[in-house]
């Protein structure tokens, strides 16, 4: 390997990315995804199985029950059971939400009466959405403030506040999609324009070329690790309980995996548009599905459980969730195993890319 | 000493066979020229030898035999390849100087100030080292690619149509440099579409449909066709006429002429049973003012740099006006101002009698103007046919018209067999032809053609000019055309010559011939350029 070759390409790549303003996208897109999705992911959820325990039996409480019953969002059952029994139903997945109206609710209304709302938090995204509906219905309909507690069957996400589950999950999506597209584009652009001939016709080794193409997306996105981390902890107030070094290192490895995917994409495509579309398609879908944003991997059926473990995103997310919300770090042997698996992924993908990349016109 | 031996070289792309069983040898210090029609297999041969495409057969370079791009790796530090296309190997966002840095590092070279300065001066780029490649003119890009190929002082130089779009002055300088490096022991394989250039090479190989059909010195090749070459031009569907010569297999009652290398193509086409394409343009009277374009003192500045300096220009009805000038003289910039692709910094412009001040003034004129740009604007993801259909749709042609027109032009320009290929897959010359077809689809009354014939083979160029003249004579279409083939200037009614953004000549071709008797147009051009220091 000769440094002068790599240096030549790197210098060119950096000048190019800065002058053609790509650099703006490199730093805008990840932040945009995080903010848009962090705030904006809301799915429409209908027919939430709702149990209302009415201990007040007042005109107001009946009105509330009525309001709940008359939308497609909730399937309401009014039951006369104890708080404990209700919680049990929630935990055994017999209900999705429980609303408890306390005995002197309408009387205490002006003093600041409260309604207890418990939402099954095992699907964080759905829980947040349901929460939104309830809030709208109660606050806008009755001007009632309420503490909503989302009951979570997932052990680590105990105190699930809205963003805690979603925001770390987005890291796995962003660092899969964005570095892959960038890597694919900066290689395919050379094919499209014709500058790839400089590589074909000069005595440059494939590994030199690949390394020169890996470094720019890798370095640029390394900075994004810090930027996104700051957004997560400051803007979204997600707690960070783990080890920052582990978080950082795992993210770097994960970016390498993404870049590796980008290289593979660049081998099979020949226009920038095609490279962009293909790299987004093959990364967005697993990035979303298996990130644990939509549903926790543990609650998937067997088939998708296995599928989820084929994609590196689930390993990454496991470690990221841990560093944000739990903080076991490498004390957990599962995390260590997952970290090693990620390293293997990165190595295999990049080795494969180097091997398969053609140094000749197809 | 023999440095290259090529044995049974074949290249195919999928099912398409690009070349089959090419054999030749190259001696040290020898320059071997590849000539042939577009798509004949010159590029594929050069690519195979440079080790950038898979091939069958064997290439032996200085005793080292290779059979694949992989095996060719070993010799790549002694070879330089410049592929075809206007500055294909350049990065738009890198300056001229940064390109030198990049290529030097890529090859692990030490900086040789003296040599680099010489190369830059030869290419006329010495003053423009800070300019981004994307802002260079087409010919300047070509010259930059060329000097970058020379930078590592290769032992074997492979140039694929290096002088396409390069002005006559620079072409002469390029030959000086190549000859000088040859003295130091370099050999070269060069393909070219300029026959005046081909005749300077030691030996030539004539390619046709993937095979080498003739080898020899220029003199030997010319010798073979002297029985078929006559003086003057005639209208006939049995014979080709181009450049004051007529080529015919059957005897003609005309004076025999000394053939030029160009004739080799025509005679070869005739021998293969090809006939000149009958170009029929219906007589039609178009209703346009006598002055189609009138530009008064147009000026364009890029920062401090003045690309066009107060240029006056007039294009009359039914006139072919040639816009000539060295690379970077401001031809493309001027055309782009006329078309509204660049804002006009100073000056007045009238199109079809109408003063053009803003974008709105141009909208209704769009359907009357046809334009072929130097870097053609084709959609890479569409096939040639789809591209044409797209252009037709843009000008709201009916599907029936579209079909008829595509059929007509593809036959006329001979790109029928390429209709379903993508622009990238076909030779430069074919792309040029169908860009022209795209510009003609909507029957414009004025055509702006920016180097439409660069890189197009001789036979196609002659058909092309025939068409232009028919368009002019039968329909009264006006044409503004730029070219670096000075022989083509003979077909223009009038020429405007630009030098460094300033108009130095605006005169009828026949007046210029009177003024400089006995010279051909290339000589006249060089003289004019020298006189106007
Ligand atoms: N966007 C730009 N910024 C700076 N300089 C430019 C820009 N576009 C063109 N130029 C410069 O303007 C000059 C004229 O360029 P133009 O393309 O008109 O030349 P040309 O006569 O068409 O040459 P060629 O024969 O090579 O096509 C050149 O020196 C070119 O580098
Ligand atoms: Mg130009």
B319 falls in which pLDDT band (50, 70, 90)? Answer: very high
**pLDDT, tens digit, 9 for 90 and up, residues B339-372:** 888 999 999 999 988 888 888 888 878 888 888 8
Residues B164-191: pLDDT tens digits? 888 988 888 888 888 888 888 899 999 9
- Predicted confidence at residue A356, as pLDDT, reads 95
Average pLDDT of the residues of chain A: 84
Q: Are residues B364 and B250 in the same domain?
A: no
Q: Above 70 in pLDDT, residue A161?
A: no
The gap from C-alpha A127 to its chain's centroid, in whole angstroms, comes to 16
Of the partner residues B53, B79, B90, the one whose CB lies closest to the CB of residue A361: B53
Best of B85, B124, B136 for a ligand 1 pocket test (most atoms within 8 Å of beta carbon) = B136
Do B385 and B505 sit in the same domain of this protein?
A: yes
Distance of CA A362 from the midpoint of ligand 2 (Å) = 31
- Does residue B393 sit in the same domain as residue B308? yes
Q: What are phi and psi of A309, to 5 degrees?
A: -85, -5
User: Can you tell me which residue has the tokens 């021998």?
Assistant: B271
Chain B residues near residue A208 by CB distance under 8 angstroms: none
Higher pLDDT, residue A153 or A229: A229
Is the domain of B411 the same as that of B477?
yes
Ligand 1 and B137: CB distance under 6 A: yes
Do B320 and B184 sit in the same domain of this protein? no
Encode pLDDT of B497-524 as tens digits.
999 999 999 999 999 999 999 888 989 9
Binary contact (B380, A192; C-beta < 8 A): yes
Task: Quote the CA–CA distance of A188 and A196 in Å, as a whole number.
Answer: 9
d(C-alpha B293, C-alpha B360), whole Å: 17
- In this structure, the number of other CB atoms found within 10 A of the CB of residue A237 comes to 12
User: What pLDDT sits at residue B394?
Assistant: 84
Copy the structure tokens of residue A174.
């962003």
Maximum CA pair distance of chain A?
86
pLDDT of residue A157: 38
Q: Which of B52, B102, B108 sits opposite A201 (nearest CB)?
A: B52
Output the CA B5–ligand 1 centroid distance in Å.
Answer: 41
How much is the average pLDDT of B303-323?
Answer: 93
- My answer on whether B249 and B102 are in the same domain is no
pLDDT of A151 > 60? The answer is no
Predicted model pTM: 0.82
Band (B332; pLDDT cuts 50, 70, 90): very high
| B364 falls within a domain | yes
Convert the pLDDT of each residue in A254-271 to its tens digit.
Answer: 999 999 999 999 999 988
Q: Which of B45, B89, B132 to mutate to test the interface with A (most CBs of A within 10 A)?
A: B89
Asked if residue B286 belongs to a domain, the reply is no
Q: Which CATH superfamily is domain A48-139 in?
A: abc type-2 transporter like domain (3.40.1710.10)
Is residue B328 lining ligand 1, measured as CB closer than 6 Å?
A: yes
Residue B248's domain comprises 226-271
Greater confidence, A42 or B399? B399
Q: Which ligand is nearest to the CA of B323?
A: 1
**B329 C-alpha to ligand 2 centroid (Å):** 8
Pocket test for ligand 1, best of B164, B307, B323, B325 (most atoms within 8 A of CB): B307
Among B80, B91, B380, beta carbon nearest to A195: B91
B53 touches chain A (CB under 8 A): yes
Contact B91 A201 (CB under 8 A): no
Of all residues in chain A, what percent carry a pLDDT higher than 70? 84
Query: Do residues A180 and A283 lie in contact, with contact meaning Cβ atoms separated by under 8 Å?
Result: yes
Q: How many helices (H) and strands (E) does chain B have?
A: 17, 23
- Any idea which ligand is nearest the CA of B125? 1
Which positions 64-103 of B are in contact with A (Cβ < 8 Å)?
69-70, 73, 76-77, 79-81, 83, 85, 88-94, 98, 101-103
Domain presence at residue B384? yes
Task: State pLDDT tens for residues A86-108.
Answer: 888 877 778 888 888 888 777 77
Q: Is the CB of B174 under 6 A from ligand 1?
A: no
Task: With respect to residue B265, please indicate whether it lies within any of the assigned structural domains.
Answer: yes
Asked if B449 and B478 sit in the same domain, the reply is: yes
Task: Please indicate, yes or no, if residue B221 is contained in any of the structural domains.
Answer: no
Mind giving me the DSSP string for B487-511?
A: GGGGG-SEEEEEETTEEEEEEEHHH
Are residues A275 and A266 in contact, defined by beta-carbon separation less than 8 angstroms?
A: yes
Give the pLDDT confidence of A204-230 residue by residue, as tens digits.
Answer: 999 999 999 999 999 999 999 999 999
Looking at ligand 1, which residue's alpha carbon is closest to its atom 29?
Answer: B328
pLDDT, position B511: 94
Contact B322, B453 (CB under 8 A): no
B421 at interface of A, judged by CB pairs closer than 8 A: no
B17, B148: one domain: yes
State whether B150 and B93 are in the same domain.
yes
Phi/psi for B346 (5° steps) reads: -145, 155
Claim to verify: residue B318 and residue B373 sit in the same structural domain = yes
Closest to A94 (Cα-Cα) out of A173, A151, A17, A161: A151
Q: Which helix (H) or strand (E) holds A170?
A: helix A162-193
Mean pLDDT within B281-289: 79
Ligand that lies nearest to the alpha carbon of residue B484, given by its number in the listed order: 1
State residue B232's pLDDT score.
84
pLDDT at A44 (0 to 100): 62
ipTM surpasses cut 0.90: no
Whether residue B212 is found in the same domain as residue B230: no
Task: Tell me the average pLDDT across B409-431.
Answer: 81
DSSP β-ladder status, B156-160 and B79-82:
parallel
Assign B159 to helix, strand or coil.
strand
Beta strands in B268-382 (DSSP E): 291-302, 305-316, 320-325, 346-351, 354-355, 369-372
Mutate to test the pocket of ligand 1, among B92, B96, B136, B137 (most ligand atoms within 8 A of CB): B137
State the pairing for strand pair B229-231/B240-242. Answer: unpaired
- Whether residue B87 lies inside any domain: the answer is yes
CA distance A277 to A260: 16
| Nearest residue to B439 via CA among B376, B365, B483 | B376
Q: Is A328 left (phi over 0), alpha (psi -120 to 50) or beta?
A: alpha
What is the predicted pLDDT for the residue at B216?
A: 92
What are the sequence ranges of the domains in chain A? 3-41+161-356, 48-139
- For chain B, how many structural domains are there in total? 3
How far off is chain B from A358, nearest CA to CA, in Å? 10
Radius of gyration of chain A (CA): 25
Instruction: Decide: B121 and B169 in contact? Cβ < 8 Å.
Output: no
Q: Taking CB atoms and an 8 Å cutoff, what residues of chain B touch A23?
A: none
- Phi then psi dihedrals of residue A150, to 5 deg: -95, 115
- A323: pLDDT strictly greater than 60: yes
Name the average pLDDT for chain B.
89
CB B44 within 8 A of CB B53: yes
Residue A68 and residue A96: Cα distance in Å, rounded?
Answer: 14
One domain, residues B445 and B312: yes
CB-based contact B436:B372 (threshold 8 Å): yes
Verify whether the Cβ–Cβ distance A12 to B94 is below 8 Å.
yes
**Dihedral over Cα of A275, A280, A286, A290: its sign:** positive
Instruction: Evaluate: CB of B331 within 6 angstroms of ligand 1.
Output: yes
Closest listed ligand to the CA of B165: 1
User: B54 to each of A72, A74, A200, A358, B58, how far by Cα in Å?
Assistant: 64, 65, 12, 11, 11
Q: How far is CA A280 from CA A181, A286, B167, in A?
A: 7, 10, 45
Q: Give dist(CA B316, CA A66) in Å, integer.
A: 83
Using 50, 70 and 90 to split pLDDT, how confident is the model at A291? Answer: low
- Residue B281 belongs to a domain: no
- Residues on chain B touching A192 (C-beta within 8 angstroms): 380
Spell out the residues 6+ positions from residue B222 whose beta carbon is closer than 8 angstroms to its own.
Answer: B259, B260, B261, B263, B264
pLDDT at A155: 33
Task: Measure CA of the first residue to CA of the last residue in chain B; give whole Å.
Answer: 45
Compute the distance between CA of residue A162 and CA of residue A318 in angstroms, rounded to an integer.
18
pLDDT higher than 60, residue A244: yes
The residues that bridge with A75 in the sheet, in sequence order, are A49
Q: Which of B73, B103, B105 sits opposite A203 (nearest CB)?
A: B73
CATH code of the domain covering residue B59 = 3.40.50.300
Residue range B433-443, pLDDT digits in tens: 788 888 888 88
CB-based burial, A74-98: b 16+ in 10 Å, e otherwise = bbbebeeeeeeebbebbeeeebbbb
* Contact between A200 and B69 using a beta-carbon 8 Å cutoff: yes
């Amino acid at each position: 390997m000769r440094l002068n070759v790599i240096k030549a390409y790197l210098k060119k790549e950096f000048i190019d990315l800065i002058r053609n303003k790509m650099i703006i996208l490199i730093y805008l897109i990840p932040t945009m995804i995080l903010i848009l999705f962090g705030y904006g992911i809301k799915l429409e959820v209908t027919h939430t199985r709702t149990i209302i325990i009415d201990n007040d039996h007042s005109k107001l409480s009946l009105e509330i029950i009525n309001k709940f019953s008359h939308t497609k969002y909730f399937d309401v059952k009014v039951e006369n059971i104890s708080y404990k029994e209700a919680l049990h139903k929630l935990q055994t997945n017999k209900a999705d939400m429980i609303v408890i109206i306390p005995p002197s609710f309408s009387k205490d209304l002006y003093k600041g009466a409260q309604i207890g709302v418990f939402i099954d938090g095992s699907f964080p995204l759905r829980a947040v959405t349901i929460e939104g509906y309830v809030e709208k219905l109660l606050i806008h309909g009755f001007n009632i403030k309420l503490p909503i507690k989302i009951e979570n069957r997932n052990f680590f996400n105990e105190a699930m506040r809205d963003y805690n589950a979603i925001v770390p999950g987005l890291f796995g999506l962003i660092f899969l999609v964005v570095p892959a597209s960038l890597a694919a584009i900066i290689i395919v652009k050379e094919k499209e324009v014709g500058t790839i001939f400089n590589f074909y016709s000069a005595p440059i080794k494939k590994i030199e070329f690949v390394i020169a193409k890996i470094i720019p997306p890798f370095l640029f996105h390394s900075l994004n690790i810090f930027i996104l981390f700051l957004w997560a902890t400051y803007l979204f107030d997600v707690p960070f309980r783990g080890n920052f070094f582990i978080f950082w290192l795992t993210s770097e490895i994960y970016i390498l995996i993404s870049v590796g995917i980008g290289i593979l994409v660049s081998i099979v495509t020949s226009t920038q548009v095609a490279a962009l579309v293909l790299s987004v398609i093959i990364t967005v879908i697993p990035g979303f599905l298996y990130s644990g944003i939509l549903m926790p991997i543990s609650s998937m059926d067997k088939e998708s459980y296995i599928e989820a473990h084929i994609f590196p995103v689930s390993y990454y997310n496991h470690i990221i969730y841990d560093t944000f919300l739990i903080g076991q770090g490498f004390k957990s042997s599962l995390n260590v195993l997952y970290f090693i698996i990620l390293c293997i992924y990165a190595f295999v993908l990049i080795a494969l890319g180097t091997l398969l990349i053609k140094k000749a016109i197809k | 000493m023999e440095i290259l031996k090529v044995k049974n070289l074949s290249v195919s792309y999928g099912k398409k066979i690009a070349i089959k069983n090419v054999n030749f040898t190259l001696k040290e210090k020898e320059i071997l020229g590849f000539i042939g029609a577009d798509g004949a297999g010159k590029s594929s041969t050069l690519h195979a030898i440079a080790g950038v495409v898979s091939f069958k057969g064997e290439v032996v370079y200085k005793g080292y035999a290779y059979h694949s791009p992989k095996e060719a790796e070993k010799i790549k530090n002694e070879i330089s390849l410049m592929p075809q296309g206007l500055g294909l190997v350049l990065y738009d966002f890198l300056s001229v100087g940064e390109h030198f840095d990049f290529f030097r590092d890529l090859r692990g070279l030490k900086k040789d100030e003296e040599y680099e300065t010489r190369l830059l001066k030869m290419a006329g780029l010495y003053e423009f080292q800070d300019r981004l490649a994307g802002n260079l003119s087409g010919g300047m890009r070509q010259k930059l690619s060329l000097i970058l190929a020379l930078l590592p002082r290769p032992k074997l130089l492979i140039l694929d149509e290096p002088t396409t779009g390069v002005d006559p002055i620079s072409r002469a300088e390029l030959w000086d440099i190549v000859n000088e490096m040859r003295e130091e022991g370099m050999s070269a394989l060069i393909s070219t579409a300029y026959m005046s250039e081909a005749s300077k090479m030691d030996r030539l190989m004539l390619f046709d449909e993937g095979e080498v059909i003739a080898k020899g010195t220029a003199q030997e090749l010319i010798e073979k066709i002297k029985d078929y070459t006559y003086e003057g031009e005639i209208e006939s569907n049995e014979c080709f006429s181009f450049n004051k010569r007529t080529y015919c297999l059957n005897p003609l009652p005309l004076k025999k002429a000394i053939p030029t290398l160009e004739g080799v193509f025509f005679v070869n086409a005739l021998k293969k049973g090809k006939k000149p394409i009958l170009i029929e343009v219906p007589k039609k009277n178009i209703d346009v003012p006598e002055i189609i374009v009138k530009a008064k003192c147009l000026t364009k500045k890029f920062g401090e740099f003045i690309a066009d300096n107060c240029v006056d220009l007039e294009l009359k009805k039914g006139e072919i006006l040639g816009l000539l000038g060295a690379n970077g003289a401001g031809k493309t910039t001027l055309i782009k101002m006329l078309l509204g692709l660049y804002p006009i910094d100073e000056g007045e412009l009238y199109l079809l009698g109408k003063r053009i001040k803003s974008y709105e003034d141009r909208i209704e004129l769009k359907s009357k103007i046809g334009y072929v740009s130097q870097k053609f604007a084709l959609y890479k993801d569409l096939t040639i046919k789809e591209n044409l259909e797209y252009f037709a749709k843009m000008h709201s042609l009916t599907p029936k018209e579209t079909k008829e027109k595509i059929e007509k032009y593809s036959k006329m320009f001979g790109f029928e067999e390429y209709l379903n290929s993508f622009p990238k897959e076909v030779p430069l010359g074919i792309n040029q032809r169908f860009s022209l077809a795209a510009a003609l689809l909507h029957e414009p009354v004025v055509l702006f053609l920016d180097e439409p014939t660069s890189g197009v083979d001789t036979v196609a160029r002659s058909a092309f000019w025939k068409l232009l003249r028919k368009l002019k004579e039968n329909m009264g279409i006006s044409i503004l055309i730029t070219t670096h083939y000075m022989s083509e200037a003979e077909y223009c009614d009038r020429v405007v010559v630009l030098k460094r953004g300033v108009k130095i000549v605006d005169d009828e071709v026949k007046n210029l011939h009177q003024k400089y008797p006995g010279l051909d147009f290339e000589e006249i051009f060089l003289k004019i350029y020298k006189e106007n220091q």
